[in-house]
A and B are shown apart, each in its own frame.
Chain A
Amino acid sequence: MDATDLKTTASAGVVTPQRAAFREPLRLKCGRAIANYELAYETYGNLNATCSNAVLVCHALNASHHVAGVYADEPNNVGWWDNMIGPGKPLDTNRFFVVGVNNLGGCHGSTGPQSINPETGQPWGADFPLVTVEDWVNAQARLADQLGIQQFAAVMGGSLGAMQCLQWSIAYPQRTRHALVIACAPNLSAQNIAFNEVARQAILTDPDFHNGDYYAQNVTPRRGLRVARMVGHITYLSDDEMASKFGRTLKHGRVNYSFDTEFEIESYLRYQADKFAGYFDANTYLRITKALDYFDPAFEHNGDLAKALAGATAGFLVVSFTTDWRFSPERSREIVHALLKNKRDVTYAEIDAPHGHDAFLLDDARYHKLVAAYFARIDAEGKS
């Protein structure tokens, strides 16, 4: 085996994004409907003859349908969960047919605020509806219909992606055999909403925002997006992780009594902010943070999460990370408690990782082995 072979066995390899068009109006939770729309998606591995080995991977705030592998013309554009998904990886594409999808309202190819509204011939901009987790899941279900997938062997996601898994198990119990709910919370806390509101205010008050119709002005609210990303990024890392990565290290070896970057952490945040503002759409960011704020399946059941999950029949793997303060283990235990009340098949693991919320995206042998073992169980079930 030469080096190239090794590379292709370790990665999903070259993938091509696809698009699915939907002509039937999708009713949204906000009361509006979207007449027709497209979803960008990618698939890895092969759908088996009984269509029973499909796994849907749901993305979180800033990711996309590009879950694994690389593009032929962009060999460095590696999928956001490439360490988890691929041949021989915890979610093994030799056994499973994996689907990644960019959510409705996104900015990576699916219909969103940047797309042309066929009714006006202009970009949707401010008029694009406020979509919810429920709407995303309904749209994903239609994609599954088009792909001929009656039931997913598993729906998997981290953070906001995990909220979609919960919603799948509630809205489509018969179509969700397993749900892998990683670094999740059953709803946002006041503190979570507060951070989102800071991010939104940064965008909404940027003079280049133009009430959301900035496309026509040929500007983007970069300043707002940058601050939004900085705030978000702080919540993804643990205090210890920041301390060990950056500490109080100075960029130039001494303080200069200026507002230029002095500490390494400032430099890091500015770099992340610039990168993000270069590719992410502000209207999408606003809507995704709202979708996070609104998600609360227990709300319609007087706050009783067990009642909200009463109809879910999936097997659940719930995973949290000890240093995650954005969605702490305590929040995952609320989900576990509700599932235990309903006597559901649930396994809960609390991974002692130093990286905070971001841990769900990082390499950690205990975490990856656990997910691999759970998928091996799903695979064995499918064969028995």
Chain B
Amino acid sequence: MNGISIDRADFAAIAHWVKPDARVLDLGCGDGALFKYLKRQRNISGYGVEIDDINVLACVQNGVNVVQRNLERGLREFDDQSFDYVILSQTLQAMRNGERIIREMLRVGREGILTFPNFGYWRNRLHVLNGRMPVSDTLPHQWFDTPNIHLCTLDDFERFCSERSIRIIERKVLTDGRAVSMMPNLLGALAIYHFGAAG
């Protein structure tokens, strides 16, 4: 199974949760592929946020409105509760201050959607058991060149949310693009969460 089909399953799961005509902010939007997909599937509007020059150019070429910004510095240009959804796709694990960006997501948006590679996936555990750092479809880098500094498991993230009164609305777990329902913390490679503030 290649990266593209994993991405598409990921996109489809997100599109399933996003209401039509929603205002969306996509953090770390890359070349704008997810945003463009959601525009087509759900007629969303809004912006991508991206730091990399090449990705910013690709967004313009893809017709996606993009704001060039380092997410580590927060989302100051964006007002409170100005989006229906704030998406952070495959980026959390590479951020220095993960807690801060999740708080920013819930400040700027009514709900958040987050995807990250599940470090608890059995293949990752097997790598570690064998004394090696995991390398896989969802964690494609070697230990020495990985941008990922804050990896976690499904259980870690859910505990994080419950300690901070973050309400998990929905969860989808994928392996090779297919949904996983049994023992997701062991059998799931990619986690997708839909969450909001408590209450």
Q: Which residues in chain A, 344-363, are within 8 Å of chain B measured between CB atoms? A: 345-352
B38 at the interface (CB under 8 A from A): no
A341 near B53 with CB under 8 A, answer no
Measured between beta carbons, the chain B residues less than 8 angstroms from A376 are: 61
Task: Name the CB-closest residue of A to B59.
Answer: A347
What separation, in Å, do the CA atoms of A203 and B69 have in the docked complex? 41
B47 near A366 with CB under 8 A, answer no
What separation, in Å, do the CA atoms of A333 and B65 have in the docked complex? 15
Contact among A340, A345, A349, A374 for B68, CB-based, below 8 A? A349
Measured between beta carbons, the chain A residues less than 8 angstroms from B143 are: none
What separation, in Å, do the CA atoms of A340 and B108 have in the docked complex? 12
Task: Name the CB-closest residue of B to A319.
Answer: B68
B161 at the interface (CB under 8 A from A): no
A interface, over-half SS: helix
What separation, in Å, do the CA atoms of A66 and B68 have in the docked complex? 32
B151 at the interface (CB under 8 A from A): no
Contact among B57, B67, B78 for A373, CB-based, below 8 A? B57
B interface, over-half SS: mixed
Measured between beta carbons, the chain A residues less than 8 angstroms from B66 are: 347-349
Task: Name the CB-closest residue of A to B58.
Answer: A373
Measured between beta carbons, the chain B residues less than 8 angstroms from A349 are: 53, 56, 66, 68
With A336-B67, A346-B65 known to touch, is A369 a contact of B77 (CB < 8 Å)? no
With A350-B68, A377-B60 known to touch, is A340 a contact of B53 (CB < 8 Å)? no
With A345-B65, A349-B68 known to touch, is A370 a contact of B60 (CB < 8 Å)? yes
Task: Name the CB-closest residue of B to A317.
Answer: B60
With A347-B67, A350-B68, A366-B53 known to touch, is A340 a contact of B79 (CB < 8 Å)? yes
Measured between beta carbons, the chain A residues less than 8 angstroms from B57 are: 366, 369-370, 373
A275 at the interface (CB under 8 A from B): no
Count A-B contacts at CB 8 Å.
53
1/0 per residue, CB under 8 A from A, across B45-74: the answer is 101000001001101110101111100000
Task: Name the CB-closest residue of B to A315.
Answer: B65
From residue B113, how far is it (CB to closest CB) to chain A in Å? 20
Task: Name the CB-closest residue of B to A318.
Answer: B67
From residue B176, how far is it (CB to closest CB) to chain A in Å? 35
Measured between beta carbons, the chain B residues less than 8 angstroms from A336 are: 67, 77
B59 near A340 with CB under 8 A, answer no
What separation, in Å, do the CA atoms of A336 and B78 have in the docked complex? 10
B contact residues, total (Cβ < 8 Å) = 20
From residue A121, how far is it (CB to closest CB) to chain B in Å? 53
A32 at the interface (CB under 8 A from B): no
A337 at the interface (CB under 8 A from B): yes
Measured between beta carbons, the chain A residues less than 8 angstroms from B63 are: 377
What separation, in Å, do the CA atoms of A373 and B59 have in the docked complex? 9
1/0 per residue, CB under 8 A from B, across A326-348: the answer is 00000001001100110101111
With A370-B56, A370-B57, A377-B63 known to touch, is A348 a contact of B79 (CB < 8 Å)? no
From residue B185, how far is it (CB to closest CB) to chain A in Å? 38
From residue A209, how far is it (CB to closest CB) to chain B in Å? 44
From residue A346, how far is it (CB to closest CB) to chain B in Å? 6
A348 near B68 with CB under 8 A, answer yes
Task: Name the CB-closest residue of B to A369.
Answer: B57
Which of B23, B63, B69, B77 is packed against the most chain A CB atoms within 10 Å? B77
From residue A32, how far is it (CB to closest CB) to chain B in Å? 39
What separation, in Å, do the CA atoms of A351 and B47 have in the docked complex? 19
Measured between beta carbons, the chain A residues less than 8 angstroms from B56 are: 347, 349, 370
Contact among A340, A345, A373, A377 for B77, CB-based, below 8 A? A340
Q: Which residues in chain A, 174-216, are within 8 Å of chain B measured between CB atoms? A: none
B78 near A340 with CB under 8 A, answer yes
What separation, in Å, do the CA atoms of A341 and B76 have in the docked complex? 12
What separation, in Å, do the CA atoms of A343 and B24 have in the docked complex? 11
From residue A42, how far is it (CB to closest CB) to chain B in Å? 28
Measured between beta carbons, the chain B residues less than 8 angstroms from A369 are: 57
Measured between beta carbons, the chain B residues less than 8 angstroms from A341 are: 79, 82
Measured between beta carbons, the chain A residues less than 8 angstroms from B76 are: 333, 337
What separation, in Å, do the CA atoms of A343 and B45 have in the docked complex? 9
From residue B19, how far is it (CB to closest CB) to chain A in Å? 17
Q: Can you list 11 contacts pairing A with B, beta carbon distance less than 8 Å?
A: A336-B67, A340-B79, A341-B82, A346-B47, A347-B66, A348-B68, A349-B53, A366-B53, A370-B56, A374-B60, A377-B60
Apart from A346-B67, A347-B66, A349-B56, list 8 A-B contacts with CB within 8 A: A333-B77, A337-B76, A341-B79, A343-B45, A345-B65, A347-B60, A366-B53, A374-B60
